[in-house]
């Protein structure tokens, strides 16, 4: 399969937001405007996450997902506060193709098995939110709770329980465009047979190249595609120069 570049759009439930280290959220615009820009660029896929949902005891808004889905002719992956089979089903019916499971991945892993037997693994993306590069801990609940689990062990457990893909994030690198956790990507990719989406800290085409080399099937990218003049197509031009075959 061709390596994918996936823009990430974050929301607090009302507006589009950006932050650093899963915190320091600031409003940067309207979610649907960002979705339209990415749609016009015909990106490989879009990730839309509600970063306040779990903390506020709700799920990402179904209407927002439906509106975003209507704008897109490419796959849509959404997440934020999904903790029930009914909630998962509602988001699929609203137009999501895949759903990110964050908190439950770390706290209630049996939920992943429940989802897999209902919906099949391919709709389930488990988020592994590593605190930093040390492989000692992960976080849940939008970064507010730390659990002392090795992210690689969490990745292996999630695959066994039925995850279809893994989204590997890194709190210390989030939002900073300072480079990605390539060693972590490599360790996770070697430990599982399912696709790994590397995230957090992508700044330049070099980061994408290194992430794919480390075994990622896709790279999810927020800040670099939001605050710099890089576009996915420009990044793809660089990838082609070094022999990586990408879509288009």
List interacting residues with another protein (CB under 8 A). Answer: 1-4, 42, 44, 66, 69-70, 72-75, 89, 92-98, 116-123, 164-165, 193-196, 217-218, 247-248
When the beta carbons of 53 and 218 are compared against another protein, the nearer one is 218
Cβ 151 vs Cβ 188: under 8 Å? yes
Q: State in angstroms the smallest separation of the CB of 102 from another protein.
A: 19
In sequence order, what DSSP letters do the residues of 167-227 get, joined into one string? EEEEGGGTTS-S---HHHHHHHHHH-SS-EEE-S---SHHHHHHHHHTT-SEEEESHHHHH
Q: Can you give the C-alpha Rg of the chain in angstroms?
A: 16
Quick one: tokens of 51? 């970063």
| Burial profile 41-66: b = 16 or more Cβ within 10 angstroms, e = fewer | eebbbbbbbbbbbbbeeebbbbebbe
User: What torsion do the CA atoms of 200, 76, 39, 128 make, to the nearest 10 degrees?
Assistant: 0
When the beta carbons of 72 and 138 are compared against another protein, the nearer one is 72
β-pair type (23-29, 46-50): unpaired
Which residue in 124, 170, 186, 130 sits closest to 154, CA to CA? Answer: 130
Q: State in angstroms the smallest separation of the CB of 178 from another protein.
A: 27
Q: What is the DSSP letter of 10?
A: E
Q: State in angstroms the smallest separation of the CB of 28 from another protein.
A: 26
Q: Which residues carry out catalysis?
A: 129
Q: State in angstroms the smallest separation of the CB of 149 from another protein.
A: 23
Quick one: tokens of 159? 């695959």
Q: State in angstroms the smallest separation of the CB of 153 from another protein.
A: 19
When the beta carbons of 24 and 122 are compared against another protein, the nearer one is 122
């Amino acid at each position: 399969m061709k390596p994918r570049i996936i823009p990430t759009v974050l929301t607090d439930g009302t507006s589009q937001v950006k932050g650093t280290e899963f915190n320091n959220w600031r409003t940067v615009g309207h979610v649907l405007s960002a979705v339209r820009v990415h749609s016009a660029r015909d990106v490989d896929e879009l990730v839309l996450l509600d970063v306040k949902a779990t903390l506020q005891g709700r799920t990402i808004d179904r209407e927002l997902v439906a509106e975003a889905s209507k704008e897109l002719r490419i796959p849509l992956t959404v997440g934020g506060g999904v903790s029930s089979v009914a909630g998962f089903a509602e988001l699929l019916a609203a137009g999501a193709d895949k759903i990110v499971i964050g908190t439950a991945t770390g706290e209630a892993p049996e939920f992943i098995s429940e989802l897999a037997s209902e919906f099949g693994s391919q709709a389930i993306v488990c988020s592994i939110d590593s605190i930093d590069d040390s492989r000692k801990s992960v976080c849940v609940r939008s970064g507010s709770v730390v659990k002392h689990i090795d992210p690689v062990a969490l990745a292996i457990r999630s695959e066994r329980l039925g995850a279809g893909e893994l989204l590997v994030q890194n709190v210390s690198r989030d939002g900073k465009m300072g480079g990605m956790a390539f060693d972590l990507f490599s360790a996770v990719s070697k430990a599982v047979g399912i696709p790994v989406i590397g995230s957090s800290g992508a700044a330049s085409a070099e980061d994408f190249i290194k992430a794919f080399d480390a075994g990622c099937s896709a790279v999810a990218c927020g800040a670099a595609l939001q605050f710099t003049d890089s576009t996915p197509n420009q990044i793809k031009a660089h990838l082609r120069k070094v022999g990586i075959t990408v879509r288009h």
